[in-house]
Amino acid sequence: MKVVVQRCSKASILIDDSIKRNIDNGLVVLLGIHKDDDINDVNYIIKKLINLRIFEDESNKMNYSIQDINGSILLVSQFTLYANTKEGNRPSFTDSMKYNDAKELYELFIDNLKKTNINFKTGEFGSDMKVNLINDGPVTIIIDSKENLYENK
């Protein structure tokens, strides 16, 4: 599982040109699901997200997490994070989990994120979405659960 995490002062999402969801002061999380992902990847990413200290304290040091600032998360599924561009000019998505399995794991991710009591909103899995954000900093962090899971074996 791979996420691109962007600290934002504002973010919104337009889904299928109609539904709009907004957050202020928090994280935009683009979530890619790998074909080999499971509950361990879900739990690792959620733990990282809610504890990642990328918000500034009174001394302008990144010491606060999303929990510390009572911020929000805008969660967006994005299978293209596992695009393979090694051959040719058209990306291959063979490393992305198949639609039905990915949707199930995405819903599990949402269910487990609810347990954290972090305020969050989501896009809609498989829908056409337009994401707008003001990247605060800019701060953008990439987290890959496979890097951690392999290191801890």
Q: Is residue 69 within 8 Å of residue 58, measured between CB atoms?
A: no
Neighbours of 133 (CB within 10 A): 19
Cα of first residue to Cα of last residue in the chain, in angstroms, is 17
- Both tokens assigned to 152: 């801890």
Which residue blocks in 8-144 are alpha helix, DSSP H? 39-51, 99-114
CA distances from 124 to 36, 68, 106, 109 (A): 22, 27, 10, 13
Residues serving a catalytic function are 80
